[in-house]
Amino acid sequence: MFGLFPSKKETPRTERLRALSLFVNLTPRELKIVDGLLHERQFLKDEVIFDKGDEGQAIYIIIDGCVWILPQGKAGDGQTIELGPGTFFGDLALLDNSVRSAQARAATTTTLAVFFRADFMGLLETHGLIASKISLQLARHIGRRLRESHNVATGGQHL
Amino acid sequence: MIETERDSGPVVWVSIIAVTCLLLLAFQKILFLVVPFLLALILYYILYPTVQRLVLAGMSRAAAASVVTLAFLALLVACGYLMLPWITLHLMDWQMAVENYVQGGMSLLGRSLTELEDRYGMLQRAHLAATVGQRLNEFTGGLAEQHVAPILIGLAGWTPSLLLAPFLSFFILKDGQYFQSFLARAVPNAFFEKTLYLMSEVDQAARAYFLGLMKLTILDTLTLGIGLWLLGMTAPMGLGLLAAVLAWVPFVGSILGGVVVVLVAATDFPNQPAMAAWVVALFIFVRLLDDFVYMPLTIGKSLHMHPLIAVLMIFIGGAVAGILGLMLALPLLGVVMVVGKTVGAIVTDSRLMARYWHGRALRSAQASADL
């Protein structure tokens, strides 16, 4: 009524964001607030998203297309990781301004949603509940990755 | 960004100072727009936390901005409604009071000079008290008629422009976020992260500066008010607030605030010259407190600049754009500094530039693929 309270109807982008593990615990209203903070960028095939050694300022969510993560900064060295729609990368940048550990390059024409660290920090102050839900999911994601790399290093033993 | 600070060379710094001076010159020409915009920014940073709370409670941003702005306007109207009869009643008294206070100040000066003449014969032979008194009488004769009325008319002329401030702040509160996204869309991919960082730095610096200024004003008002109350002055908090607001203009403002309070002291206590001396001592104490305690706690944190550059910039600002230059030199330099350093860091980063040209080449190839 009178447009005082926002509509809970989801847009195609918020529907995609909902499927993302990072935002899975958010209510539609919370998701809409986060959606308002995201920047959408388009990268052409082979365009560099960020370089290894850059100061990380944002986390990238793949809306459409594919991205290569190149730890050595070049494709075809056997260490390339390909990420598809619905995944995210550069997540450590949300926590601190440490340098990027690998290069990210668009494998196809790609649409990305960019979540800037300053906006996340603002969210911590103004919407603590939303930020804590995202933080928990981020911690789970990093924990899972840590376990995986440990398993690879120790040949399958649990951490 | 701390890394870019190290990279900024003399060319970048000269450009930063030159751009700040040019902006000050330009701002002087569009003063009618700069003042309401500046007030709108201050209002935005004051109202922003309330808007955020309402958004958190489930209200849309537009509705929250409307509710908060309307509440502020209602408060303003209520204050105006309550104050208007009192202001009209005292308007004539004020004109008289200005003359009284100027006369009080002149009497104090005359008494002090006569005492000096009594002590030093050389000054008596030079007729110091008589000469200064005559010159001041020539200058201040009919001061109230000459200056108070034009000031009041000038303030009335500014009213429409000042009324623009709440409306501007409403739109910044409502659409500021979209405006940031809109600006970010124009930035090439290669510079995107650095530009986003730049925008947030400018926003944080401006927020810290204006909120710091408000906190500094409250601290100054309280300290001066309590000090003047202890000295037994009339309307101590009002005088404290007036001096604290005047102190927004660096150097000149503090002196002007001090002079006003000394005039009041000299008039209210004509037989106690020591009172004026106590007021001066209080002002010096508050000034020192400002410089060494309050400023570092409030505004100092927001502008990370060398004190020498800050002082030089205030003087340059004053020379280029008068009182407006004095007031705006530091916040403007703060903003231009962040922008200049970031642009300098981007332009001199050969990898970023190479990525930019690579991106352009890819877009050009895509656009001309079927030609």
pLDDT, average across residues B211-222: 86
Residue in the block written with tokens 């969210």: A123
State pLDDT tens for residues A54-88: 888 899 999 889 999 988 766 666 678 889 888 88
Specify the pLDDT at position A60.
Answer: 92
Range with the lowest mean pLDDT among B154-163, B220-229, B350-359?
A: B154-163
Phi, psi of A77 (to 5 degrees): -100, 10
Look at residue B351 and tell me whether its pLDDT is greater than 50. yes
Task: Give the closest-approach CA distance of B58 to chain A in angstroms.
Answer: 7
Residues of A in contact with B358 (CB under 8 A): 47-48
pLDDT, average across residues B342-350: 83
| ipTM summary value | 0.79
Triad A89, A95, A98: Cα angle to 5°: 80
A5, A57, A127 member nearest B193 (Cβ) = A57
B177, B189, B204 member nearest A43 (Cβ) = B189
B177, B190, B362 member nearest A46 (Cβ) = B362
Task: Give the closest-approach CA distance of A159 to chain B in angstroms.
Answer: 35
Q: What's the pLDDT band for B1 if we cut at 50, 70, 90?
A: very low
Q: What's the pLDDT band for A110 if we cut at 50, 70, 90?
A: very high
A39, A46, A127 member nearest B184 (Cβ) = A39
State the DSSP code for B290. Answer: I
Report the distance separating Cα B303 and Cα B15, nearest Å: 18
Residue in the block written with tokens 């990210």: A104
CB contact under 8 A, B359 and A44: yes
Report the distance separating Cα B99 and Cα B24, nearest Å: 35
Residue in the block written with tokens 């944080």: B204
Look at residue B65 and tell me whether its pLDDT is greater than 80. yes
| Smallest CA–CA distance from A114 into chain B, residue | B193
Specify the pLDDT at position B4.
Answer: 42
Q: What's the pLDDT band for A49 if we cut at 50, 70, 90?
A: very high
Report the distance separating Cα B307 and Cα B330, nearest Å: 11
CB contact under 8 A, B63 and A5: yes
CB contact under 8 A, A57 and B351: no
**In this structure, what token pair is assigned to residue B53?**
């709370």
Report the distance separating Cα B297 and Cα A84, nearest Å: 48
Specify the pLDDT at position A114.
Answer: 92
pLDDT, average across residues A120-142: 87
pLDDT, average across residues B156-162: 72
Report the distance separating Cα B318 and Cα B25, nearest Å: 11
| Mode of pairing for the β-strands spanning A67-70 and A103-106 | antiparallel
Please give the mean pLDDT across all residues of chain B.
78
CB contact under 8 A, A49 and B60: no
Instruction: Count Cα neighbours of B199 within 13 Å in the Cβ-side half-sphere.
Output: 21
- The whole model's pTM is what? 0.69
Closest by Cα among B285, B286, B241, B287 to B260:
B241
Report the distance separating Cα B82 and Cα B69, nearest Å: 20
Closest by Cα among B241, B203, B215, B242 to B335:
B203
Specify the pLDDT at position B2.
Answer: 37
Residue in the block written with tokens 């003087």: B315
Specify the pLDDT at position A99.
Answer: 86
Chain A interface, best mutation among B177, B182, B185, B193, by max A CB count within 10 A: B193
